[in-house]
Structure 1
Amino acid sequence: MITQDVSRELEQVITQLSKEGKEPTVALVKARLTSSVPMPALISTIKSWKNSQRVPKVEVAVKEPSQIDRINELEAQVKELTQRLAAIEAKLQ
């Protein structure tokens, strides 16, 4: 299983809320996160921050993309790079 460290994002969100004068709550933090973090992890992170002003390391499981998704992504990248290369070649001529 692949995991992703979301500690930095959590810390940034909590710090930003504090700078805005807002008390970090589960709802406010969850609303600003781009990653999906389980509720128990959010609760323990906010408690830790309130007690010691630090965010513990939090990792969440990341769903691995299917082979079809990976192929589609690679095909889109190849298409974009081909277009960019054609534009560069046109400028050089």
Structure 2
Amino acid sequence: MNAVVFDAIKALLDEGKIPTVALTKSKLTQPIPLPVIIAAVSQYKNNPDSIHNLAKQPQQKSETVDNSSQLDRIETKLDRLLALLEK
């Protein structure tokens, strides 16, 4: 589940509200595709304990990665691949 959507659902639960797609979308701090929101809310409705299980897992890196650093990593990988091909 997307960490931002997880945080929105958790915020709703902390307020005592039942997460719906519309409420979850209103709590988001950044734009998230609607299918991701729907999947997260469906996952919660099918298994409410999944939110508590995710809270126990270590937080993954934020999905919002600086585009320039991502481009730098891609360029580095490409350079390595080209070096391997030249051997």
TM-score w.r.t. structure 2 length? 0.50
Bigger proportion of residues as helix: 2
Q: Where does the alignment leave 5 or more consecutive residues of structure 2 unmatched? A: 55-62, 69-87
* 1:72 corresponds to: none
State the match for 1:31 in structure 2. Answer: 26
Partners of 2:3 and 2:35 in 1: CA distance: 17
2:55 paired with 1:51: no
CA distance in 1 between counterparts of 2:11 and 2:22 reads 14
Q: C-alpha displacement at 1:38, in angstroms?
A: 1.2
The alpha-carbon deviation at position 50 of structure 1 amounts to 1.4
Unaligned runs of 5+ in 1: 1-5, 66-93
Residue in structure 1 matched with residue 14 of structure 2 by the alignment: 19
Larger Rg belongs to: 1
SS of structure 1 residue aligned to 2:16 = coil
Higher relative contact order (CA 8 A, sep 6+): 1
Q: CA RMSD in A?
A: 2.9
Contact 2:6–2:40, Cα closer than 8 Å, also in 1 = no
Contact map agreement 2:21 2:38 (CA 8 A) in 1: yes
| Distance (whole Å) between structure 2 residues aligned to residue 61 and residue 17 of structure 1 | 22
- Whole-Å Cα distance in 1 between the matches of residues 37 and 5 of structure 2? 9
Q: How many residues align?
A: 58
Deviation at 1:36, TM superposition (A): 1.0
